Structure 1
């Protein structure tokens, strides 16, 4: 019986070594891919895309800029507007909406879409409908977003300088943003008023909204104002920290989870390439079947753990 068990262990060990060789001669570490950064563009007709025949707004060009930069992102929202050439048309741009209207819906959007980042371009219609700027409403809306999603990043833009009635609002927005930033909030200003707007070439036929050329200029400002911050964002899951007294079977590197990295360490140990494991409890963690040693059965046991069996 002992002889048979030894032959079985050798055969089993050889089988797993062969499977390892097939994928390159060593166990391939598991790679935890960061989730795409979920970006929710929020605003009025400028975000939805009025003035652009395809209703792509700045989002069309910004999508291309982010992709060319290698950013892993996902536009989110309940509204889908844009050209067929735009793979991701999700947004929360709503033509004619004011800050109070956005505030009435933002909690539902946040809960449904769960964004990591919010692009906020709103307040123009408040001026058109009431004749007054609404920086207080903007401030309250930012607070409302952070109350719902404390870890979100918010980018707040002003408007290109058309019509002139938006200019006082443009002057007020940076102060609102700075107040939140001074309070430790992750809120940033996007100065679209510096996009190099030329009324004769960047305005649509309605005389108010941007055309495609204008939206491309706006997209460049959004990109320049956000890319370095977004590149520093990460959604990679953090493995749980194990307690000092608990030994996770198979977790020979002591990071609190069993991955193919642990599988690779056990393989190297059985081949005599290493004589110990990274964690203090590595030997005990590697002894899956608690028979007092680390052998091919433990090697097979870790593989079964990784396969969810």
Structure 2
């Protein structure tokens, strides 16, 4: 044993190996202590902070979810919400309009009422109330209201046509009271061949809708 120790002291290479082992053990212990301190700090993080971090991660995941629009459409500033009916939009619209202070409003609504078969006899009255709330929140804005596009399913299309028949009259009533409301015929702008899933337009269908909106916007002194 004594001879081995002397040889270790005499051999600088073996001394380096031994020193390297000591340094690695020291580094390992330092990492362990650092990890322990981080765990201790993590235990002291308030639950609200942890919840906020989880909320940020959830929002990032939501941003990665697919949405019902072609990716080539550039303008995503709208209040189109997947599956929302007239009454659900109406419950939020006053705050949205007051915050945005829009010059023009494009309103194509009622498809989800049709698909969900939500009290279709009462749908025209719900649309009228929504127009009232939009024009009251932004009295100087021009509101362009369209009937809804064609639907592939015959039962849904029958409901849509019954609803669409009431839309021009509702718009005319509010326009007769001095509200800046205009009707835009949209149902015949598309065919079922322009639908991606029987309900939502494909890229060609969205282009056809955009052309109708553009024609209405440029037909008067509104822009």
Under a length normalisation based on structure 2, what TM-score does the superposition of the two structures give? 0.62
In structure 2, how many angstroms separate the alpha carbons of the residues matched to 1:93 and 1:116? 18
Which ranges in structure 2 are unaligned for 5 or more consecutive residues? 1-66
What root-mean-square deviation, in Å, do the aligned CA atoms of Structure 1 and Structure 2 show?
A: 1.8
In structure 1, how many angstroms separate the alpha carbons of the residues matched to 2:119 and 2:94? 27
Counting matched residue pairs gives 150
Q: Please tell me whether residue 89 in structure 1 is matched to residue 63 in structure 2.
A: no
Shift in Å at residue 222 of structure 1? Answer: 0.9
Shift in Å at residue 172 of structure 1? Answer: 0.8
Shift in Å at residue 194 of structure 1? Answer: 2.4
Q: Secondary structure at the match of 2:200?
A: coil
Which has the larger share of helix?
A: 2
Shift in Å at residue 124 of structure 1? Answer: 1.6
Q: Please tell me whether residue 151 in structure 1 is matched to residue 140 in structure 2.
A: yes
Q: Deviations over 1:105-154 (max 9, x none)?
A: 11111121111111111112122222515010110111111222211110
On the 8 A contact 2:139/2:180 being kept in 1, the answer is no
In structure 1, how many angstroms separate the alpha carbons of the residues matched to 2:171 and 2:222? 20
Q: Please tell me whether residue 222 in structure 1 is matched to residue 213 in structure 2.
A: yes
In structure 1, how many angstroms separate the alpha carbons of the residues matched to 2:176 and 2:90? 23
Matches within 5 A, 1:149-298: 149-162=138-151, 163-164=156-157, 165-195=159-189, 197-200=190-193, 202-204=194-196, 206-229=197-220, 232-233=221-222
Larger radius of gyration: 2
The 1:118/1:53 distance shift into structure 2, 3 A limit, reads closer
In structure 2, how many angstroms separate the alpha carbons of the residues matched to 1:181 and 1:89? 29
In structure 1, how many angstroms separate the alpha carbons of the residues matched to 2:138 and 2:70? 34
In structure 2, how many angstroms separate the alpha carbons of the residues matched to 1:190 and 1:221? 7
On the 8 A contact 2:142/2:222 being kept in 1, the answer is no
Q: Deviations over 1:190-238 (max 9, x none)?
A: 100121x2323x110x222110011111111111111133xx247xxxx
Q: Secondary structure at the match of 1:91?
A: coil
Q: Secondary structure at the match of 1:102?
A: helix
In structure 1, how many angstroms separate the alpha carbons of the residues matched to 2:183 and 2:132? 15
In structure 2, how many angstroms separate the alpha carbons of the residues matched to 1:193 and 1:217? 11
Moved over 2 A (4+): none
Q: Please tell me whether residue 127 in structure 1 is matched to residue 119 in structure 2.
A: no
Q: Deviations over 1:63-100 (max 9, x none)?
A: xxxxxxxxxxxxxxxxxxxxxxx2x4211111100111
Shift in Å at residue 102 of structure 1? Answer: 0.8
In structure 2, how many angstroms separate the alpha carbons of the residues matched to 1:184 and 1:111? 20
In structure 2, how many angstroms separate the alpha carbons of the residues matched to 1:208 and 1:123? 12
Larger RCO of the pair (alpha carbons < 8 Å, separation 6+): 1
Which ranges in structure 1 are unaligned for 5 or more consecutive residues? 1-48, 61-85, 235-309
Under a length normalisation based on structure 1, what TM-score does the superposition of the two structures give? 0.46
